[in-house]
Amino acid sequence: MLLIPCPYCGERPEIEFTHGGEAHLVRPAPPAAVDEQTWTQFLYMRSNKKGPYAERWRHARGCGRFFNAVRDTTTDHFIAVYKSGEPQPVAPVKSSP
């Protein structure tokens, strides 16, 4: 059970959240303009990082908000959390433990 630092509510147990997949996916705008490869990339291709990985979480059973997080997939440590729409931090904002 991860302890997830929601930027709005603080540390809450994993059971209150739903995972939102990879972060910073850009929906082509307008989609009609892009070719098959680009659309396929957006629909199906995801990076599968070993190490720091930018992903989304939603505090579904809390504040209900989406936010972004950088989590190390080998240790499950949360390196950073930041609000939806913000860019991925370059340097670690929050280290744990």
Partner 1 sequence: MKFRTPSGGRIDRRQPISFSFDGKAYQGYPGDTLASALLANGVHLVGRSFKYHRPRGIFSAGADEPNALVTVSRDGARSTPNLRATQVELYRNLTAISQNRWPSLEFDVGRINDSLSRFLPAGFYYKTFMWPRGAWKSLYEPAIRRAAGLGRAPTLPDPDRYAQRYAHCELLVIGAGPAGIAAALTAADSGARIILCDEQAELGGSLLSDPVPSIDGKNSSAWLEASLAKLGANPRVTLLPRTTAFGYFPHNFVGLSQRLTDHLDSPPPGLARERLWQVRARNVVIAAGAAERPLIFPGNDLPGIMLAGAAHTYLHRYGVRVGSKAVILTCNDDAYQTALDLQAAGTQVGAIADIRPAGGGPLTAAARSAGINIIYNATVQGTRGDQRITGVTLANTDLDCDVLLMSGGYTPSVHLFSQSRGKLEWSDALKAFVPSVSAEAERSAGACRGIYGLEEVLADGANAAAHALQLNRAPPVFEIDSPERRRDSFLGALPGAGTSGSKSFVDWQHDVTTRDLALATREGFHSIEHVKRYTTTGMATDQGKGSNLNAMSIVAQQLGRPIPQVGLTTFRMPYTPVTFGSFAGISRRDLFDPVRTTPTHAWAETQGAVFENVGLWKRAHYFPRPGESMHATVARECRAVRDGVGIFDASTLGKIEVVGPDAAEFMNRLYVNNWNTLKPGRTRYGILLREDGFVYDDGVVARLAEDRFHVTTTTGGAPRVLAMMEDYRQTEWPQLKVWLTSTTEQWAVIAVQGPHARKVLEPLVTDLDIGAAAFPHMSVARGKICGLPMMLFRVSFTGELGYEINVPADFGRRVWEAVYAAGADFGITAYGTEAMHVLRAEKGYIIVGQETDGTATPDDAGLSWAVAKSKTDFVGLRSLQRPAMQSANRKQLVGLKAKDGRTVLEEGAQVAERPAQRPPMQLIGHVTSSYGETTVGYPIALGMVAGGRARMGQTLYVPMPGRDIEVEVTSPVFYDPQGVRINA
Residues that bind partner 1 (CB under 8 A): 1-3, 18, 20, 27-32, 34, 36, 39, 42-43, 56, 58, 60, 64-66, 74-77, 84-85, 96-97
Q: What is the 3-state secondary structure (H, E, C) of 48-96?
A: CCCCEEEEEEECCCCCCCEEEEEEECCCCCEEEEEECCCCCCCCCCCCC
From the CB of 68, what's the least distance to partner 1, in Å?
A: 9
From the CB of 35, what's the least distance to partner 1, in Å?
A: 11
From the CB of 51, what's the least distance to partner 1, in Å?
A: 13
26 phi and psi angles, rounded to 5 deg? -105, 115
